[in-house]
Structure 1
Amino acid sequence: MRLRLHRFRLNKAVPLAISRGTTSSVEHLLLELEHDGLTGRGETGGFDTGHRAYETDAIAAELEAIAPRLEPLAPEPRQALEPLLNNLSPPARCGLDLALQDWWGQRLGQPLHRLWGLDPGACVATSVTLGLGESSAVLARLERWRLQLPSTRIKLKLGSPDGLEHDRVLVRAVRSALRPGDELQIDANGGWDLDAARQMIPWLADQGVVLVEQPLAPQSDPALDTAGFAALHGLATIPLVADESCWDLGDLLRLAPHVDGINIKLVKCGGLSEGLLMAQAARRLGLGVMLGCYSDGGLLNSAAAQLLPLVQWPDLDSHLNLIDDPFTGPDRQGDVLRPSERPGLGVQEVS
């Protein structure tokens, strides 16, 4: 196998502000894995969850270091590559995992979701994200989304540094702009402490919010992290979803008794291999599955879209907010995203 890396920049049409800061542009890596006349592609990049962070330069260094070890190997059997993959950081493993999966699907001439036996007809609408800001700016962002797609599921970022009253003002403003049938999700991105979360979650339930994601900051100590969710679980009737606290299957099993759902992100869990395992395990345990993204491009979200038939709460809108994405992203009808019927990841370059 021959591995090539290319850097590319993704610029947002509208910067996104969350409790940890604002993002307007990121640098990502395109991986090309060539073997036997086929080229599999993957995308990855740096990210920060508040308690764990990865830089794109460090990810690139990992992949460049492993490239010579890949040269005498073949993409299959995949099991033979696990020792190499397991030693990589999650985002580096994600990029390589996606390239391997894409190559495999192309070899077999089938999209991954079909090889896994998934039903694209089971896909549901994605949410669109409203970042933190003043009410007028947040409502203007909602209107911009509505010019682009139906936007029936809205995710509002909270955890404002201006405090709980600002969060409440944003919720009231967005609720006033909802149309019949729209639903409102809340993502605090770990921006509340335990007392604030205990105040906000019942209030949000009374406001008709359908779920609350990552109310507390993730903790490096798994026991402390689990205790935070345990203290909030059952506080209100709306689902409690773990994101920054849930990286892999081990975290899922740790948190399962104390949450109602998990958010799978490919660069966080290490790619589609782990993501598929987590989605299937979560469903078997009776948990809802959210499928999310960071500042990801169309290639990464096309890969994630292969899991969409297993997902209750899709949140794959990042590629829809880019002005220079080299890839087109998943197939879309209205605000329902579906995995492509093209082989592998279904990746398609912008023409």
Structure 2
Amino acid sequence: MGWSLRRFSLTKAVPLAISRGTTAQVEHLELTFSMDGYSGRGETGGFDTGHRAFSTDQLALELEALLPKLGDVDPADRQQLAPLLQPLSPPARCAVDLALWDWWGQRLEQPVWRLFGLDGHRPVATSVTLGLGSVDAVLSRLQRWWRQLPATRIKLKLGSADGCDHDRALLEAVAQALQEQAQQQQQPMELQVDANGGWSLDQAKAMQTSLHQAGVVLLEQPMAALLDPDRDTAAFAALKPHCAMALVADESCWDLQDLLRLAPHVDGVNLKLLKSGGLSEAWLMAQVAQRLDLNLMIGCYSDSVLLNGAAAQLLPLIRWPDLDSHLNLVDDPYQGLDLVGDQLRAPAAAGLGISRAS
């Protein structure tokens, strides 16, 4: 039995700009657990949501301190492991959680989605992301996506530092491009908007008419996430009566407790494994969301096929997949997350179903 940790770089073909900044390259960590002839892998990396931030160096230190404590622990005994994993930050815990699920699924010769009792054969179209920029640059990025795949779900980043007038110009231009594409391809197009907390409550209210006119189907995290849960919830509660489209929480929703406090005031939440601490918490959140009739998005940061393949284990429960980060990488070291058109399907191989690229 052994654990190992390695660093690797991920480089975007097109840098992504959102309201909080621009990302062109990141450094991530691969955590590997080997036992009984099987090796499970998990991925993690630093990220910043505006109100919480984690560096890859910090995550490496957490994991390096943890690994000696795992030597004598039965990896199949998650109850025994829980006290060791609980103090970790969510993204550090994610790496361990994914490596253990990957190993366990391989040992049982089943994909993780089957261990969850899900139908992993159902394909779902993923959105592809347009970052902030000039109108011409954003339209050029859209055309590049369409040269790469027949994308029918477009997520437009708004919350520009140039203000709501620039956001409206982007909305109008992208909506027009989608309308023309729909007519040419004879299939519907879906426009989503993610402000990444770039608006005030008043701005979010003021943008509603423009969003509606553009045919936007969902609005994700319009206001900045707040560390004070009561104030954070109050912002969604204040906007909800004015929002005619689905209102989705992302940066504000990390775990089951967040999901429960936000559920009365949103139409959906965005599950991200680095926020939830891995598949275990995300799977629990997904089950509770079903009971609450809450729709689910599953998203990514600057993640490889490994992390997105782990997230894809939950695809059968997801209305709005947003797993496109690996499609914008030039040096992804993994393979196994197949795309047919713009539709993703949970990997069929055992464990997470992801392997090192040859």
Q: TM-score, normalised by structure 2?
A: 0.96
Instruction: Please tell me the residue identity of whatever aligns with 1:296.
Output: D
Counterpart secondary structure, 2:10: strand
Q: Distance in 1 between matches of 2:135 and 2:202?
A: 24
**Is contact 2:205–2:239 with CA below 8 Å preserved after alignment?**
yes
Deviations 1:183-218 (A, max 9, x none): 100000000001100111243123210000000000
Equivalent of 1:242 in 241, 245, 249? 249
**Is contact 2:120–2:348 with CA below 8 Å preserved after alignment?**
no
| Residue 257 (structure 1) aligned with residue 264 (structure 2) | yes
Q: Distance in 2 between matches of 1:227 and 1:138?
A: 33
Deviations 1:253-277 (A, max 9, x none): 0100000000000001100001111
Counterpart secondary structure, 1:233: helix
Q: Distance in 2 between matches of 1:148 and 1:328?
A: 17
| Residue 83 (structure 1) aligned with residue 71 (structure 2) | no
| Residue 294 (structure 1) aligned with residue 329 (structure 2) | no
Deviation at 1:329, TM superposition (A): 4.7
The residue correspondences of 1:12-27 to structure 2 (distance < 5 A) are: 12-27=12-27
Structure 1 unpaired stretches of 5+: none
Instruction: Please tell me the residue identity of whatever aligns with 2:28.
Output: H
Q: Distance in 2 between matches of 1:202 and 1:77?
A: 53
Q: Partner residue of 1:50?
A: 50
Q: Distance in 2 between matches of 1:221 and 1:329?
A: 40
Counterpart secondary structure, 1:129: strand
Deviations 1:217-253 (A, max 9, x none): 0011000000000000121321000000000000000
Q: Distance in 1 between matches of 2:120 and 2:143?
A: 29
Structure 2 unpaired stretches of 5+: 183-187
Counterpart secondary structure, 1:12: strand
Q: Partner residue of 2:227?
A: 220
Q: Partner residue of 1:152?
A: 152
Q: Distance in 2 between matches of 1:230 and 1:121?
A: 37
Counterpart secondary structure, 2:234: helix
Q: Distance in 2 between matches of 1:233 and 1:70?
A: 45
Q: Distance in 2 between matches of 1:152 and 1:56?
A: 34
Instruction: Please tell me the residue identity of whatever aligns with 1:342.
Output: A
Higher mean C-alpha displacement, 116-125 vs 277-286: 116-125
**Is contact 2:194–2:219 with CA below 8 Å preserved after alignment?**
yes
Write out the 4+ residue segments of structure 1 that deviate beyond 3 Å after TM superposition.
none
Deviations 1:309-335 (A, max 9, x none): 100000000000000010025121111
Q: Share of identical aligned residues, percent? A: 65
Instruction: Please tell me the residue identity of whatever aligns with 1:146.
Output: W
Equivalent of 2:282 in 252, 257, 275? 275
Q: Partner residue of 1:102?
A: 102
Q: TM-score, normalised by structure 1?
A: 0.98
Q: Distance in 2 between matches of 1:66 and 1:257?
A: 38
